[in-house]
C-alpha cells in the first residue's frame, strides 16, 4: 500500500482549454477518495492519467514517492499495481465467473493452485461462491459488478480506480453495491479513487471528497466538512439541496450565521451594504409565524415529508421541509436557523 500524490497535474487535448488544470492532491494509504463533479469537469481524465491510459501534459503523479508519470515519461498501466472497475463491467462473456476473476493471475503467471485459492477467497469476499461456474450473461447487473470487484481483489492492488461503476444500476442495486464497496474497502485496505457525479454516492462511500469544476480542484475534505462548510458557490450548490441567498455582509460576523444575524441582514437589504452569498440547507428552514413571509411555489410529497420551494418577498428562493401538508400558493412564514457564508 502507498500514498498517491498528484502534483500540479495538467492535461490538454488540442488547443482549447485544459481538461485538467494545475490539480494537486494527496491520497493517503488506505483512504477512499471520491472525485465529484458535473460531466465534463475533468474527473475521468484524472482517473485515466492515474491508471496510465493518458499521459500528463504537465505535472507529475507519484506512488510511494516514486514518479510513475509526467510529461516526459510514464510507467505502463500493467506495471502500476492498480486495478480498475468500469461502468460497463468489462467482463469476458465466454469465460465463467471464476475464469474472469482469475484471468489477471493467469496473465501474471501465478501458480494454478495458488490462483484457485485466491479466486475462492475473492468469490467469498463478494458473496458469489455459488456463481463460480456461471457466465456473465446469467448474472444480474449487481452480480456482474461484484465479479469486477472480485477481479480487483485477487491482484492485491495498491490503488483501485472506479469509473462511475453504479451508473447502470437501479436505485435498489445501487444501495446494495454501495455496501459491497464499503466492505471491499474495509477488507482489502487498498487506496480507492471513485469517480461520480452523484453527490449522495460520494457522501455515502468516501472518506474524502474532492470537488472539481472546469478541470480544477475546488475543495477536498471529508464528506461532513464538504457538506457543512463548502468553499465557494459552486461547491455549495453541488453538494446537498441548499439555496444560496444574497444578503448584506455584516462586519464582525462569523461564517456560520444564526437566525438573529440573518434576520438583521434581511432588515438591511435596502441599505446598499456589500453583499455575501449565504448557503441555507432545507433542514435549517422551519415554518414559524414569527419569521419571514414567503409563498409556497411547489410542494413535493417525498413519503415521510414534503419538500417545499419558497419565494421570499425580495424575489429570492428557499428550500424547506415540512411534515404537514402545505399547498402550492399558500402564504407561510419561515425562520432560518442557520446559514453558511460562502
- What are the distances in angstroms from CA 196 to CA 86, 109, 220? 12, 34, 15
> What's the whole-model pTM score?
0.85
Which residues does residue 310 pair with via DSSP β-bridges, in sequence order? 296, 318
CA dihedral angle for residue 312, residue 315, residue 317, residue 321, rounded to 10 degrees: 20
Q: Which CATH number fits domain 243-341: 3.40.50.720, 3.30.360.10, 2.40.50.140, 3.30.70.1140?
A: 2.40.50.140
Per mean pLDDT, which range of 21-30, 35-44, 146-155 is the poorest?
146-155
C-alpha grid cell for residue 33? 477518495
- Please choose, from the candidates 125, 188, 123, 130, the residue with its C-alpha nearest in 3D space to the C-alpha of residue 162: 188
Range among 95-99, 147-151, 246-250 rated most confident: 95-99
Average pLDDT of span 175-181: 80
Angle at 129 between CA 172 and CA 84, to 5 degrees: 65
Report residue 131's pLDDT band, with 50, 70 and 90 as the boundaries: very high
φ, ψ dihedrals at 29, nearest 5°: -50, 130
What does DSSP say about strands 208-213 and 32-36: parallel, antiparallel, or unpaired? parallel
In the predicted structure, residue 205 carries a pLDDT above the cut 80:
yes
Question: What ranges do the domains of the chain cover?
Answer: 4-229, 243-341
What's the pLDDT tens digit per position in 260-313?
999 999 998 877 789 999 999 999 999 999 899 999 999 999 988 999 999 999
Report pLDDT for 142.
Answer: 82
pLDDT higher for 181 or 299?
299
20 pLDDT more than 90:
yes
Distance (Å, whole) CA 59 – CA 67: 10
The answer to whether residues 149 and 181 touch, using CB atoms and an 8 Å cutoff, is: yes
* Contact of 269 with 248, CB cutoff 8 Å: yes
In the beta sheet, which residues pair with residue 256?
340
Q: What is the mean pLDDT of the chain?
A: 91
**Distance in angstroms (rounded) separating the CA atoms of residues 11 and 198:** 24
4-229 sits in which CATH class?
alpha beta
User: pLDDT above 70 covers what percent of the chain?
Assistant: 100
**What is the per-residue pLDDT for 187?**
78
Considering only CA atoms, give the Rg of the chain: 24
pLDDT at 1: 56
- The model's pLDDT over 58-112, given as tens digits with 9 standing for 90+, comes to 999 999 889 999 999 999 998 998 988 887 778 999 999 999 999 999 988 999 9
132-142: per-residue pLDDT in tens? 999 999 998 88
77 within 8 A of 63, measured Cβ to Cβ: no
Amino acid at each position: 500500500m502507498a500514498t498517491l500524490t498528484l502534483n500540479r497535474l495538467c492535461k490538454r487535448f488540442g488547443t482549447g482549454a485544459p481538461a485538467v488544470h494545475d490539480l494537486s492532491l494527496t491520497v493517503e494509504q488506505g483512504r477512499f477518495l471520491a472525485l465529484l463533479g458535473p460531466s465534463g469537469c475533468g474527473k475521468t481524465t484524472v482517473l485515466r492519467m492515474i491508471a496510465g491510459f493518458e499521459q500528463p501534459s504537465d505535472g507529475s503523479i507519484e506512488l510511494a514517492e516514486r514518479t510513475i508519470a509526467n510529461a516526459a515519461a510514464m510507467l505502463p498501466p500493467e506495471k502500476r499495481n492498480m486495478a480498475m472497475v468500469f461502468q460497463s463491467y468489462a467482463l469476458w462473456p465466454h469465460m465463467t465467473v471464476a475464469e474472469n476473476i482469475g484471468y489477471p493471475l493467469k496473465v501474471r503467471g501465478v501458480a494454478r493452485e495458488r490462483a484457485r485459492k485466491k479466486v475462492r477467497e475473492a468469490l467469498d469476499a463478494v458473496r458469489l461462491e455459488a456463481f463460480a461456474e456461471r457466465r456473465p450473461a446469467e448474472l444480474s447487473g449487481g452480480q456482474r459488478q461484484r465479479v469486477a470487484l472480485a477481479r480487483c481483489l485477487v491482484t492485491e492492488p495498491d490503488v483501485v480506480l472506479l469509473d462511475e461503476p453504479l451508473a447502470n444500476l437501479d436505485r435498489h442495486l445501487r444501495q446494495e453495491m454501495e455496501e459491497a464497496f464499503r466492505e471491499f474497502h474495509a477488507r482489502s485496505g487498498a487506496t480507492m479513487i471513485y469517480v461520480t457525479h452523484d453527490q449522495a454516492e460520494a457522501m455515502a462511500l468516501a472518506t474524502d471528497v474532492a470537488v472539481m469544476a472546469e478541470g480544477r480542484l475546488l475543495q477536498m475534505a471529508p464528506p461532513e466538512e464538504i457538506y457543512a462548510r463548502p468553499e465557494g458557490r459552486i461547491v455549495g450548490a453541488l453538494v446537498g439541496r441548499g439555496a444560496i441567498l444574497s444578503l448584506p455582509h455584516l462586519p464582525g460576523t462569523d461564517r456560520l450565521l444564526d437566525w438573529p444575524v440573518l434576520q438583521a441582514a434581511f432588515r438591511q437589504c435596502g441599505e446598499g451594504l456589500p453583499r455575501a452569498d449565504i448557503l441555507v440547507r432545507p433542514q435549517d428552514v422551519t415554518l414559524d409565524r414569527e419569521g419571514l413571509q414567503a409563498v409556497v411555489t411547489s410542494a413535493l410529497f417525498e413519503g415521510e415529508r414534503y419538500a417545499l420551494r419558497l419565494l421570499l418577498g425580495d424575489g429570492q428562493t428557499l428550500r424547506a421541509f415540512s411534515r404537514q401538508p402545505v399547498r402550492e400558493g399558500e402564504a407561510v412564514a419561515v425562520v432560518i436557523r442557520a446559514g453558511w457564508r460562502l
